[in-house]
Amino acid sequence: MRRRSEPHTFEQRLEAQKLRLKQEMANLPHGAERDAVATRIERLQAAAEMYDFLTLREDASALR
């Protein structure tokens, strides 16, 4: 039977994707494709910030 790996958190998956895209971007010449990868990185960062914000609000609500 195949053993499953430990599940990764949402934050870990976002960070892994961001690192992968940064490495990909480092190998691309300046141009549209590189700009598209940079935009994806910015969106991942925004998603991480939104998740942190919502998690903090959820934690604060639970304390009340």
Query: Which amino acid does the sequence have at 21?
Result: L
Crossing angle (nearest 10°) for helices 10-26 and 32-63:
160
Name the pTM for this structure. 0.77
Distance CA 44, CA 48 (A): 6
pLDDT band at 29 (very low <50, low <70, confident <90, very high): very high
Distance CA 64, CA 45 (A): 29
pLDDT above 70 covers what percent of the chain?
A: 91
